[in-house]
């Protein structure tokens, strides 16, 4: 697509790297491990300042944001930044396979592997992708961060955690 717009891939890469270096954008790198599955190898891109992102998309109010098709992606980016700021992991990645399994955030801290899923839903539940990530990545724990009010267990080692519970007072 970049070529059809007259912009080369190296030019886009330079712009993206500049936005990353100025802390406007986060490039979350993919986790690679020999799991016998084809894994996604391109980074995920997040705007670190969701207010700036909303302004660029012309979203002027909360009601407009809640109706926008990118609302979930915007919320994921905001929540990801909060989790990374608080967890201060040694390393952070996302994981996805070409078969459709994915994990929004894989945190490596010491010898621990912690998975994070972001769900903009009132009552998130377990899904097939979460089970695959737990097994394939040998996760020590999986947290599902959501905008709700209650903290609760989804399965052994899997907990739904409200985003507000992670934010400073």
Q: What is the pLDDT of residues 91-120, one digit of tens each?
A: 999 998 878 889 999 999 999 999 999 999
pLDDT at 5: 60
pLDDT at 19: 83
- At 4-58, the pLDDT tens digits run 567 778 888 888 888 878 888 898 999 877 655 665 678 898 888 888 888 888 9
pLDDT at 100: 81
Mean pLDDT of 113-134: 94
**Strands (E) located in the chain:** 25-28, 44-47, 91-96, 102-109, 112-118, 141-146, 152-155, 158-162
pLDDT at 125: 92
Distance between CA atoms of residues 70 and 41, nearest Å: 23
Residue 78 CB partners (closer than 8 Å, separation 6+) = 50
pLDDT of residue 3 exceeding 60: no
pLDDT at 11: 82
**C-alpha triplet 54, 60, 63: angle, nearest 5°:** 100
How does residue 1 score in pLDDT terms, banded at 50, 70 and 90?
very low
């Amino acid at each position: 697509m970049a070529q059809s717009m007259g912009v080369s891939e190296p030019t886009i890469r330079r712009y993206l790297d500049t936005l990353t270096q100025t802390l406007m954008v986060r490039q979350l790198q993919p986790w690679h491990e020999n799991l016998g599955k084809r894994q996604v190898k391109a980074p995920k891109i997040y705007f670190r300042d969701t207010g700036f992102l909303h302004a660029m998309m012309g979203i002027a109010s909360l009601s407009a944001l809640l109706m926008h098709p990118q609302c979930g992606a915007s919320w994921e980016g905001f929540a990801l930044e909060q989790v990374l700021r608080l967890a201060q992991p040694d390393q952070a990645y996302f994981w996805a396979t070409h078969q459709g399994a994915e994990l929004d955030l894989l945190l490596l801290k010491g010898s621990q592997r912690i998975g994070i899923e972001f769900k903009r839903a009132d009552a998130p539940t377990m899904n097939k992708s979460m089970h695959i990530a737990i097994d394939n990545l040998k996760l020590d724990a999986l947290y599902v961060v959501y905008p709700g009010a209650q903290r609760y267990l989804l399965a052994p080692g899997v907990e739904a955690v409200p985003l507000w519970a992670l934010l400073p007072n």
